[in-house]
Structure formats: C-alpha cells, structure tokens
Amino acid sequence: MNQRDHELTRDDLPEFADVVAAADRLGRAVLRTPVLHSEALDGLIGTRTTFKCENLQYGGAFKIRGAMNAMAVARQAGPVGQVLTHSSGNHGAALARAARHFGSACCVVAPNDSAAVKLAKIRDLGARLVLCEPGIAAREQALQLELQRSPGLVVHPFDDAAVIAGQGTVALEFFEQASDLGALFVPLGGGGLISGIALVAAEIAPDCQIIGVEPQLAAEAQRSLLSGRRERQGATTTIADGLRGSIGERNFHIVKRLVRRIVTVSDAQIAAAMLLCWQELKILIEPSAAVGLAAALETGREFAPRPVGIVLSGGNVDLGQWLKAPAALQSGARVRA
C-alpha cells in the first residue's frame, strides 16, 4: 500500500457537511440537471429506473461541480494566479471554465488519445493544453514538468477533498428527484463522483446500495477493493476514455468504507447502452456515462420491486471516432438494442 494511504487522516477526507457546503457555494454556477424515465428501459432492466442527466450539465459533464467548488475554496485564501491539472478531458474543460470564471490562468495536461471534442473544449475555454502519452503515470509526470516550468495550484481531477464534495452535489439533487432507490449505479474511474455520492447516500439514503461500474479493460478499482490496496491502471484501449484512470487515495478510503459492490462491463455492453439511451431517452451520452446502464441491464432485476437510479455522467462524444468504431462494437450494440 502506498505510504500516503496510511498517512491520510480524517481532516484530509471530505464529509457530508462538506457536500452541503459545496451545494450552497455553487448556487447557480451549476445546473440542477433533470432526471428522465423510460418504460421501455424499465422493461429491459426489470424495475423502474430513473436517469440523472449530467450530460446536460454545463460543459456536458458533472465535472464542473468539483472544479468550481475547488476553485471557490481556493479563492477563500486569496487570488489564484494559475491552476494546473491532468485530465482525460472533462475535468480539464471544467477547470478551464472555472478558472476563467475566477480570472485565473489554466494549464491542462491530457493524453493524446483523448476524445477530440474534449480537447477542443479545453482550448476553446482558454486553457493551455499540453498533450502527453496515455496512462495515469505519463499524465502525472507531464504535470510535474509543467508545474516546474510554471508554478501554480494543482486541482487534482478526483483525489481532492473539495472536488469530491462538489461531485457529491449530484446525489443531493438526485435523492430529492428520485425517492426510495434500492440501488444507484455510478461510473467509476478515479473515484471522485462515486466518493461524493457515497458520502451523501450514507447520510440520507443508507438503504440505497451504491454500485460502482468500471469497464472490464480498466477494472483496477475492483481489483483494489479485492486486494485491499490501491492498484494502478496502465494504458488501456477501452472506449470509456473518462474511466481509464486509477482510483485516488482519498477516493479509495471512501469507497472501501461506503461502496458495497463494484461491477465491470465490456466495451460491447457500453456501446449497446449508448445506443439504447439514444433510442429510448433521445439523448446522447459518452461511453463513460453508459457503464451504469450497461450494468443495470445485467443486474437491475436483483433490486425489484424497488426502483434504481443511474448517473449519466457526461455527453461529450467524439462522433467522428464513434462512427469509426470497430464493427464488433457496433454489432454488439445492435444485438442488445
């Protein structure tokens, strides 16, 4: 286990009160995203299902919640000249938006295989974009080089207490919009979203089982839970580009304590879920957002007759890349649909 895993104290970890404070702090800086329902998907899943549409959030993903909260917390100590981060795309764009809001410069390190639409958003929002090789280790190394060249405040994409608290505001809204959920399916990459959601669920919906969902090709969080120590994720080719990272230290501490189950889904199942959302909900989601639906199609009946919830985490799809997806993925999607 990483030495710092032992050194984390209670003061390093966010709590439910921090999520509530984040919600008050964010106010109109984020959208209260809608929820959707489909009788056709209820039939496929085996119980009533409600979808939380963070793909309709500012910037097309939930990430603005954590980035804006982290910037607001940092600004309490005074002006912030520059913020830096590494990101597969959505967090980078969110931090660029938050930095612009607060008048700070922003530098984002992103892997060169990130979705083009996400990289374009980062540039359009005025951030300096630095490309690196795929994999969390390459991202971290490139970020350290940029930090040496141009110092500033690092806002980690998931292993940050203020980021986790901001992401938890998704659950504050969702549990008001959908009551008595038996389970909530949440995409799991670095763990920022599921950590924040788990903190809220433990406080206000303890009977709701939080289920983390990973791609089979990037299942290091599941391995970490089984081994009891954080496992590192190397470079991977899963189409769920936002879930290619390794679970963070704070995130792992929270997941170990509050998340009962992590499941995995194949890329073919992810593709199928994307098309189902398009066909039945009439919305476009990215592969990373589709993992929850993919898992619910396999396990949702376990929770009947109680309803379940699914977080659709983002909608930033590189349609050009999707149309060129391997034929096996597209045929798998058609079979499930």
DSSP for 187-237, written as a single string: E-SSSHHHHHHHHHHHHH-TTSEEEEEEEGGG-HHHHHHHHTSPPPP----
pTM: 0.92
> How many angstroms separate the CA atoms of 5 and 235, rounded?
23
Phi first, then psi: give them for residue 299, nearest 5 degrees: -125, -5
Catalytic residue annotation: 63, 88
Under 8 Å between Cβ of 281 and 190? no
Strand bridging mode 308-312 / 183-187? parallel
Rounded to a whole number of angstroms, the CA Rg of the chain reads 18
Tokens coding 336: 């499930």
pLDDT in tens, the chain (337 residues): 343 444 554 458 999 999 999 999 999 999 999 999 999 999 999 999 999 999 999 999 999 999 999 999 999 999 999 999 999 899 999 999 999 999 999 999 999 988 889 999 999 999 999 999 988 889 999 999 999 999 999 999 999 999 999 999 999 999 999 989 999 999 999 999 999 999 999 999 999 999 999 999 989 899 998 888 898 766 678 999 889 888 999 999 999 999 989 999 999 999 999 999 999 999 999 999 999 999 999 999 999 999 999 999 999 987 766 666 555 455 444 433 3
In the chain, which ranges are continuous DSSP H helix? 3-7, 16-26, 39-45, 63-75, 90-102, 116-124, 136-149, 161-177, 192-204, 220-227, 249-258, 267-276, 291-299, 319-323, 327-336
